[in-house]
Structure 1
Amino acid sequence: MASRNPARPLSPHLGIWKWGPHMLVSILHRVTGSGMATVGACLLVWWLAALAGGAESYATFRDTFTVEAGGLNILGYIVAIGLTLSLFQHMMTGIRHLVLDTGAGYELKTNKMYAMLTMVASVTLTVLFWLYLGIK
């Protein structure tokens, strides 16, 4: 059994570190990458199953992700906008990591500024993308 020696150093954990934007974008990079892969795989399987299921099955899939004559399908837009935001967040964080790989941007203020810029840029690009598509 381990002894409780107060002279032993503590292992780093969330109680020791102060949260910052650089920690958030690191977690977001992992979440968005995994999320895009999971949701993309599910959508691909659904699309293939809808193709194999016939015209009625495919119409259900298509109507989920398109604007119908009678209105707007909210589920399709939530998934599409979420995937778009995930794509831009993952891309911006990837660019940040590319800059860090060159050895630049490790100063604390610069690192935090780049982290904040990734979040601002991803939201801005998502809004601009959907405005370009005509969703207002």
Structure 2
Amino acid sequence: MSKIPATQARPLSPHLTIYKPPITMTTSILHRITGGALYFGTLLVAWWLIAAATTESHFNFVNWIFGSWIGRLVLFGYTWALMLHMLGGIRHLIWDTGAGLEKHTASKIAWATVVGSVVLTLAIWIVGYMVRGA
């Protein structure tokens, strides 16, 4: 067995700076991250519901926080996480049937998941503003 000189040694795996992750891997990672983020967002929803069930001053305080620019940004992110996670779940449900497992089809479904989550999030927020008249 001959030894390869250090100048000619090849890396054991591609480095992150040269490796382009496929969209299916990216959406899988995002699905896991959004699942974790939804735990935090659900605590916010529970806080709002508890505030609604307690005093008016506590409810007004929570509404003030959620109505601030940072609160709306968090709620917008929560909406997007919810939509991406939901569509990712539907994607996995489709795969569980054995459909869409071909590489090109799986990539198209993954892109549809990302685009669909953005479109649904924007639609929810636009409709919300139209209904509120804000």
TM-score range, shorter chain: 0.7 to 0.9
In 2, Cα distance between the equivalents of 1:44 and 1:106? 38
- Alpha-carbon distance change, 49 to 31 in structure 1, aligned in 2, over 3 angstroms: same
Equivalent residue number for residue 123 of structure 1: 118
Any gaps of 5 or more consecutive residues in structure 1? 1-9, 67-72
Equivalent residue number for residue 66 of structure 2: 65
In 2, Cα distance between the equivalents of 1:90 and 1:81? 14
Any gaps of 5 or more consecutive residues in structure 2? 1-11
Equivalent residue number for residue 99 of structure 2: 104
SS of residue in 2 equivalent to 1:79 = helix
Larger fraction in helix: 2
TM-score, with length taken from structure 2: 0.74
SS of residue in 1 equivalent to 2:129 = coil
Aligned pairs (5 A) from 1:1-136: 18-45=20-47, 48=50, 54-66=55-67, 73-134=68-129
Equivalent residue number for residue 70 of structure 1: none
RMSD: 2.9
In 2, Cα distance between the equivalents of 1:14 and 1:101? 32
SS of residue in 2 equivalent to 1:105 = coil
Paired AA for residue 39 in structure 2: A
TM-score, with length taken from structure 1: 0.73
* Cα shift at 1:55: 4.3
